[in-house]
Structure 1
């Protein structure tokens, strides 16, 4: 009887398990679901395609248990911790309700072993952690990143209620900003690693004092070479903070592997298809802004890269570390190195990454290549083809080796907008039929600690590491056994602990002779961590057969004068290994005047026939580098010298100009244009030789953009005929507009007025259309003289009226409208311009004058979502409105974020919201800035970059950068209102436009 009951019980349990198991719907079945059903947690898993059929995705937690997870961690008990962001960017989302008690840190646990969280508790709640972007659990400490602070909560008694909250860091820029402080992770060396994006600005201790580098320079974006997003590490107690990399845009998280190497993703300027994955080489510059000037990547430069993604990261510039991989369009988020055994072999020991933009989770298997790596892409999860509200915000490994994914779940991503407040999910990815099972860890016995040290879960690894260090010599034999007999990465983990024990430096020297190059890499990194000083050791390692090891030796002598070691390293360089070349440059920083002459003497008088030697000179920053670059340029006439000309920009201005002038006498004719573009020229006190060359050269310049740059730079008034030709040409509207502005600056508005008065009406209309793009009050008044004069033809007046738009022109048009001076036949055009103005004040006054032109303010979104528009009509609407400030493929203006793949990034709901409520979704770097000049004038713009002397901006509707001297600027203030206007579109037009934008996918 007992056996029968047991069998029945087992059968019942099996039937219950089968009933519970979720079988994913087919494409056809999924398509038949209503939108409400698709958005429900019941069908959450159905909306995500698992690329590998050996794996299974299950829902661990969802609303109403939690919502809007920005970041996640899993502790050694298998409990999932999340940072919620219900109160996300509340100042920009006034329509959304807020939680008065503030945002929460939640702990979710599966207590009954069914693989689904059934218990959720609040660890902490408060408005001080609203929209936290990082959560990390290390022992009894919980690190919460919420710019401008990093908080450390202590729960010493383990009751999940913190006894205290302390400020670890403060003064980080980007309050409630996606580009601020991000999450912390544990490295195998016992250090904590973390980063912030390019809103971070600087790092300060709790008392307000800045973090300093080894040369006693404050680490902030005002100190060379530090700028934009940065990577750091420190001891767990917050001491010994180091800056390890810089010049990223929005490096959302940093991941480490067991050898101590770092990996990151980085987001591009929205819409430019330049998202990337980086292997982070210590002390590297990663090229988002110009290293010397801080100029934006769009700024024209010599040897400018061919593709946008290469331009975006200044990859042709000496001093920029290469990218590992381009992932193109995206909004990258969490990243890790998976060092577990549960997932299939191809994912083991590889980077795994979530990208909320294209709704995807990927793996990037990487293999060594010279001193760097190459990688490929393997998709794991894809929501784009089904549920593009799937927004994976983080990936984390549980103690059993399964992969957990947090899902922000929203119609949009990035740009500080949020369309859904209540939903959020946590998924588990594991091999099929492998249940979630986490046993209680034992940190008392050494055999157990050795096992726990090898856990793929960082929280477990941390606690095991610290416990083994505390046991000291008692754990030595077991650690030595793992170091001798274990798998490579686990050997490395044992090695790092051994380096913390008495006589730890002896293990470093042992590891340096290991047959595994990765262990030798770890040995050099440990040499730095232990602050060893043994030049003979480094000199021996500088001759290692592995370029990966030699790379680390180069990084180890950063800040230290070690000419013998550097000269031995440079002998191992081979042309084409950019990673190695950059490691040499990082090592030589501050010592080039000693290293470079010694290297050239060692190479011999024929160094210019040696490609490796020319590479070293190209990368160098010695006081005589500019002179050497000049010699290289003269030695190879007719060849492509642009890379060497560009290298001159990284030398002192005085040395660069001296070399460029010396080249004039002997440089081939094709190089003279490069010299004219590159040399510094002062129009107040002009160099007559250079000015004469410019005048003699301008007429023969083939490239229109080069011609316009030279004419503008040198104010060449004798090029009027060609300027006119460029103004009237139709092939390139950007060049036409540039030429019109240059023409006005040199010849004045009186000259343009003559063109408007041409007896040929056809030519007069063409002049109005072409010169009318000049956006200032003078042009506004000149156009008004045409459209107010009813003796002119309707065609001519209409052209003038339609040209009367522009941020600086519209105030005059508004004055005329308010005074009822605009003729009735021109009034509809004027209304359209004013009601869709980029200037919010003008829009408001126009609405008061003319009444609301659209129902956007009270739009019925569910009604619009249910409609399918006319794509062809939507394309025409996009041409009318969007292309004025956005690029779609090769059309439009590069002012706002690119829209070429916007259908992949935003759902239908997200697209409607972006159009109807543009101020809620401003992308970082595209915010409205109000610039007030000392002469009293002011204007709004997008600030591309701020250099030591200049503010580089883009004015509304222009792809061109304009430079203003900082000495002439009173203030720059960020406004809450987007430069994108609320277009006066009918509901039908809105639906048509969104239907077209949905088609814009890669």
Structure 2
């Protein structure tokens, strides 16, 4: 039976059985299904577990009606709007079929009331919206986000055919980039909120002119403090754009509650167990990259966090807003704040979120804690335990209060890959026996508009809000009545409209005295939107009993000179409330030199005894701060966490260096290693004090990593024995490799060659293994002397050939291969190296010379049906994977982590990632070709680019390498992955995938 016919039969089955749903298959029954049956529409609901017995999941739409839904909205008629991605990343998936006419925007409708879409309308189709990532319906205007543009389609006459299309915003990142522009949402404050991920780079108006911040600076990743992913808001017509937060990785959507508070998810670098949920505090820095250097989170730093998820977001750094919830591995997508009444009470007013990676829908109940929040996690839907093709891309609230979930439905998620172009589903989640019924909204009377403005569906809310706003004073009495509602969120919705009246500031003043702290929060936010500029208003609220309110007052004065307000806010700060501390820092950003001295003067001469004062100095950025940090370091006799030293990294570089030298002069002996690590040092113009200290101290350094850092930085040549001991230790291969590189840079290859010639064969081989990891022309030439010497022992020759790996070494090996100068007995090893090289050019040349040893005709269905040997797979992973991936504590942190890869990718997706690596490159792991002015080229992953440096990771190296931008001619992103197609048999591939699929949390 073909798939379209199967789908149609299922539609028929649903029509006759909607009153009495078919029970979900048991675990045993589901396990007995074939893979084809599991992927069928017939068993779509069987693959997803509803974790609350009171709720029911129903299938609203599926293939062939629609495929690959990336985003969704629901209009005021209850119709589902879908953006499809059949043509997803076509330039990287040349094997996949494409639609020349482009991707579609669909409207799905249930016309007969059976709970199943039976009508599909193509609203628009075109190549300009291929793989759009956002859709939002605001009256007769439809906002479609597809990097680098945001389009606004207008349907003037309501015939579901756009009458016009305009570019509202442009210049947002690369074409079809998942980390670019995302969906818009309407908020109760009358604004549109939206965001883009770390490929956004900058925001421009439709005419190409840049968006400017309140200080006249262009908002882009090159303008401090802005960088990486950002959050914005604007008026419904796209005017008055404001930037509200930055330094996210891939903040997929933003949700806004009735009080005007923003909630958002964010995505880590693949496999690093660091996805998160954030409360977005206005003007906050959210820590994905180092604020000052833009360095990657892996860059070693003082007071570095003790877990990857904290390191990932720089949570120990002053100036970084805390995370709300840590979600570990995932690929977060759509998000909403559920303010409906249909779902049970515990779901009401909570953040609900789709995470396509682990195949789940979750809820995040939050509670206030000081100026911030604490949160917990409640799973709602789970596909991972059954159907890990369930990839929820969005969650949206319908007019009746039910929740709809769009499902991309694919073996993989994220990256550039798509494994299935024919499937896609939309589900409805609601209480059992709750039919989907939507009546036409009545926008004609104030009474009905008051009802509609309380609807949880944003399309209805938008139209009712705009209609009430247009009625103005005529709606005052009804809005004032709603303002007296016992439901504080509906009270807030009334408040926002009242604040838009000509006397709106009067309502803001009234709300500022409300007994509900959240209404007072809304009052402060509204005062900013209305541009009240009332110092007395802010000064009064700066003394509010609620830290939540005081937080809002703090961010409200960021661009205002309000010393009295800031001083009053600072006086109520209590040490330990990081949210409040960051709010104070946001407020003082441009006025530290006046705010901080006044605060310390009031604190008195004994301010170093105050935890609050010390926190504020740690967070501050005044010209006086380095000196104050010096005082605290001396007063506290070097606190163990060294956070004051880290704070120096955020100060003026010259003042920081002077402070470090002062500390040395004042006898901070315990901190000499930290000071040596932190101080700027130019080997061309060496500072004698620092160099002499490094020479004197290096031999006493207990930590091997600290020791190597100091030896490398100061180019110390008197620590040969210890560097060698680190090279030859076996407990940390990454550190051994770093030591080998340092040794050869400092001492050359003379002693290394002598050790490789040791008469003790085992010692010679050990030296080759340890130093063979150094990947440069000189080492490759040295190794060639041994494997090309017929008189050398066989084990020595074999070891030398096997170490001819790496870009430079493989290029040298090819020079011999090209001239047929590789000994026959070692040719199989050389061929394997060259055929598996990460250098695509060499791999192609080797393939042409030796013929392909790669099996490109794998029988995928056969492999999926087979059961692999997990232990053999583990051995294969040790051979191929850990050279560039972390699996638990083993391997190198180069490519995406694999420790929990089984939670993210199905077996189909794992197979495809291995045999077609270029189709699924993770974002941030793309191949970059760097050409230097001296003619040298490297292929690498670019971690970050600062004003002066390019920070990269080279193949097979966990450590970062830094190059001066002045030496670089160009940086070009390539479409081909650094990962080669490994020469694996079908049996080996099955074994490997069986092992990887079992790597779960």
TM-score range (shorter-chain normalised) is: over 0.9
Q: Residues 843-922 of structure 1: matches in 2 within 5 Å?
A: 843-855=843-855, 857-922=856-921
Output the aligned Cα RMSD: 1.1
Q: Quick one: distance in 2 between partners of 1:346 and 1:678?
A: 50
Q: Quick one: distance in 2 between partners of 1:720 and 1:254?
A: 54
Q: Deviations over 1:69-93 (max 9, x none)?
A: 0000000100000000000000110
SS at match of 1:826: helix
Stretch moving more, 843-852 or 48-57: 843-852
Q: Quick one: distance in 1 between partners of 2:319 and 2:473?
A: 44
Q: Quick one: distance in 2 between partners of 1:916 and 1:714?
A: 44
Q: Quick one: distance in 2 between partners of 1:584 and 1:997?
A: 46
Provide closer, same or farther for how the CA distance between residues 233 and 454 of structure 1 changes in structure 2, counting only shifts above 3 A.
Answer: same
Q: Residues 108-507 of structure 1: matches in 2 within 5 Å?
A: 108-507=108-507
SS at match of 2:389: coil
Q: Quick one: distance in 1 between partners of 2:170 and 2:19?
A: 51
Q: Quick one: distance in 1 between partners of 2:735 and 2:804?
A: 20
Q: Deviations over 1:109-154 (max 9, x none)?
A: 0000000000000000000000100000000100000001000000
How far the C-alpha of 1:174 sits from its partner, in A, is 2.5
SS at match of 1:120: strand
Aligned residues: 989
How far the C-alpha of 1:18 sits from its partner, in A, is 6.5
SS at match of 1:181: coil
Alignment partner, residue 642 of structure 1: 642
Q: Deviations over 1:427-467 (max 9, x none)?
A: 00000000001111000111110000000000010000000
Check conservation: 1:634, 1:667, Cα contact below 8 A: no
Alignment partner, residue 527 of structure 1: 527
How far the C-alpha of 1:14 sits from its partner, in A, is 14
Q: Quick one: distance in 1 between partners of 2:83 and 2:530?
A: 34
Check conservation: 2:354, 2:360, Cα contact below 8 A: yes
1:735 is the counterpart of 2:735: yes
How far the C-alpha of 1:610 sits from its partner, in A, is 0.3
How far the C-alpha of 1:755 sits from its partner, in A, is 1.7
How far the C-alpha of 1:16 sits from its partner, in A, is 4.8
How far the C-alpha of 1:486 sits from its partner, in A, is 3.7
How far the C-alpha of 1:17 sits from its partner, in A, is 4.6
Alignment partner, residue 774 of structure 2: 774
How far the C-alpha of 1:751 sits from its partner, in A, is 3.0
SS at match of 1:626: helix
Q: Deviations over 1:960-984 (max 9, x none)?
A: 0000000000000001100000001
SS at match of 2:712: helix
Q: Quick one: distance in 2 between partners of 1:589 and 1:984?
A: 56
Check conservation: 2:18, 2:114, Cα contact below 8 A: no
Q: Quick one: distance in 1 between partners of 2:64 and 2:286?
A: 41
Check conservation: 1:554, 1:587, Cα contact below 8 A: yes
Alignment partner, residue 626 of structure 1: 626
Check conservation: 1:683, 1:714, Cα contact below 8 A: yes
SS at match of 2:718: coil
How far the C-alpha of 1:667 sits from its partner, in A, is 3.9
SS at match of 2:184: strand
Provide closer, same or farther for how the CA distance between residues 802 and 16 of structure 1 changes in structure 2, counting only shifts above 3 A.
Answer: closer
Unaligned runs of 5+ in 1: 1-12
Check conservation: 1:633, 1:641, Cα contact below 8 A: no
Alignment partner, residue 6 of structure 1: none
Q: Deviations over 1:766-801 (max 9, x none)?
A: 111101000011111111110110111111111101
Provide closer, same or farther for how the CA distance between residues 15 and 864 of structure 1 changes in structure 2, counting only shifts above 3 A.
Answer: closer
Provide closer, same or farther for how the CA distance between residues 256 and 720 of structure 1 changes in structure 2, counting only shifts above 3 A.
Answer: same
How far the C-alpha of 1:666 sits from its partner, in A, is 2.2
TM-score for both structures, normalised by structure 1: 0.98
Alignment partner, residue 35 of structure 1: 35
Q: Quick one: distance in 1 between partners of 2:105 and 2:280?
A: 30
Provide closer, same or farther for how the CA distance between residues 15 and 696 of structure 1 changes in structure 2, counting only shifts above 3 A.
Answer: closer
Q: Quick one: distance in 2 between partners of 1:667 and 1:853?
A: 64
Stretch moving more, 748-757 or 782-791: 748-757
Check conservation: 2:195, 2:231, Cα contact below 8 A: yes
Check conservation: 1:202, 1:219, Cα contact below 8 A: yes
Q: Residues 60-139 of structure 1: matches in 2 within 5 Å?
A: 60-139=60-139
How far the C-alpha of 1:760 sits from its partner, in A, is 2.0
Q: Deviations over 1:185-222 (max 9, x none)?
A: 00111000000000000000111110000000000000
How far the C-alpha of 1:22 sits from its partner, in A, is 2.5
How far the C-alpha of 1:764 sits from its partner, in A, is 1.1
Check conservation: 2:15, 2:114, Cα contact below 8 A: no
TM-score for both structures, normalised by structure 2: 0.98
Q: Quick one: distance in 2 between partners of 1:284 and 1:673?
A: 33
Q: Quick one: distance in 2 between partners of 1:138 and 1:651?
A: 45
Alignment partner, residue 1000 of structure 1: 999
SS at match of 1:367: strand
Q: Deviations over 1:218-259 (max 9, x none)?
A: 000000000000000000011100000000000000000000
How far the C-alpha of 1:641 sits from its partner, in A, is 5.2
Alignment partner, residue 812 of structure 2: 812
Q: Deviations over 1:665-699 (max 9, x none)?
A: 22432201000000001111111011000000000
1:823 is the counterpart of 2:837: no
Runs of 4+ in 1 over 3 A off after TM superposition: 13-20
Provide closer, same or farther for how the CA distance between residues 936 and 455 of structure 1 changes in structure 2, counting only shifts above 3 A.
Answer: same
